[in-house]
Structures are given as C-alpha cells and as structure tokens.
Amino acid sequence: MKILMLSWEYPPHNVGGLGRHVEDLSLSLARRGQRIHVITLGPQEEEEKRPGVWIHRVASYPLQYHDFLTWVLQLNIRFLEKAIEIVDRYGPFHIIHGHDWLVAFAARALKHAYRVPLVATIHAIEAGRNQGLCSDLQRFINSVEWWLTYEAWK
C-alpha cells in the first residue's frame, strides 16, 4: 500500500511532538511493508530517502506574509504542487493522511482530486491548547479541525 502523508513538521523541524510522531509512524508502517511519502516543510526543496519512506521537503514561497493564516494557506498550495509531482512520479496512492489542521486544505483537495480515502490526525485541538476559544483566529482553527475530521474517512 502507498500512503501520502502531509505534515508541516518532520525532523529535524520539530515544534512539538507532531513531527516525531509522523517520523515514528512512517518508519513503523514502512517496516510493515507500506511505502510512505511524506510532504513536509523545509528550508529548501529537497528529498530524503529512508528505508520505505520518502521525505519531500518544500519551502514556503519567498514572500512577506502579513499574518499566520496567509502563510498556512500558501503552505497548502506548496504542498499541493509537490503532491501533484509525487503522484505523477510515484502514484497512485491508496491513502492520504493529513496531520493536523495546518494541512487540511491540501489534504481535502487531494482526497477529492484523486478520489482517495483521507485519514486525519488532530494532534491537539485548538480549544484544548488555549483553554477555550477566545479569539476569531482560535475559532477559525477550531472550525478547520472540525472540517478536516468531517472530510476524513477515519
């Protein structure tokens, strides 16, 4: 089975535990015979091959971003661009696995474009990270988390 994972974190880029989880999961699945491709953020575009796991790093566009959400949306476009290349080169894939709300837009687009099941993992919900939803940004993130899980098959 071929699985395409999307994660904004992957070692050595770690902000919390999400990147380490994606690394451990991808390597564990590869040891069980699955072929895993991970699209993640990097300082530059590069590919790394580990046993059964291909890591595809993409950089943000070299633009000035006026807010975090604009950056997140452009990152999703970069992930989509890379995913199209990967599907053309290595596809088709059997599952898309989106890790957290930051990749929700790309994950959903790939699910519908390629008619592939989407699995989503929310690593920490916005309401839990902030002891409630107190700002418009927090409410937006919460709604994207809900939407990603709604779009996911599992």
Tens digits of residue pLDDT in 124-144: 998 888 788 999 999 999 999
pLDDT of residue 153: 85
Is pLDDT above 80 for 7? Answer: yes
Is pLDDT above 90 for 94? Answer: yes
What does pLDDT average to over the chain?
Answer: 95
Q: Which residue has the higher pLDDT, 10 or 16?
A: 10
Q: Any idea of the CA torsion for 79, 85, 88, 91, to the nearest 10 degrees?
A: -50
Is pLDDT above 80 for 154? Answer: no
Average pLDDT over residues 107-123: 97
pLDDT of residue 131: 84
Handedness of CA 55, 103, 125, 36 (dihedral sign): negative
Is pLDDT above 80 for 111? Answer: yes
- The backbone region for 52, taken as left when phi is positive above 0, alpha when psi lies in -120 to 50, beta otherwise, is left
Q: Look-up: residue for tokens 């779009």?
A: 151
pLDDT of residue 137: 94
Q: Give the residue ranges of DSSP H helices in 1-153.
A: 18-31, 68-90, 104-114, 126-129, 136-151
Query: 116: Cβ–Cβ under 8 A, 6 or more apart, which residues?
Result: 4, 92, 93, 94, 95, 96, 110
Amino acid at the residue 26: S
pLDDT of residue 138: 94
pLDDT of residue 116: 97
Residue 14 banded pLDDT, cuts 50, 70, 90: confident
* Fold classified for 2-151: Rossmann fold (3.40.50)
- The backbone region for 132, taken as left when phi is positive above 0, alpha when psi lies in -120 to 50, beta otherwise, is left
Closest to 36 measured CA to CA, from 9, 12, 5: 5
User: Rounded distance, CA 59 to CA 120, Å?
Assistant: 23
Exposed / middle / buried, residue 150 (Cβ in 10 Å: 0-12, 13-18, 19+): exposed
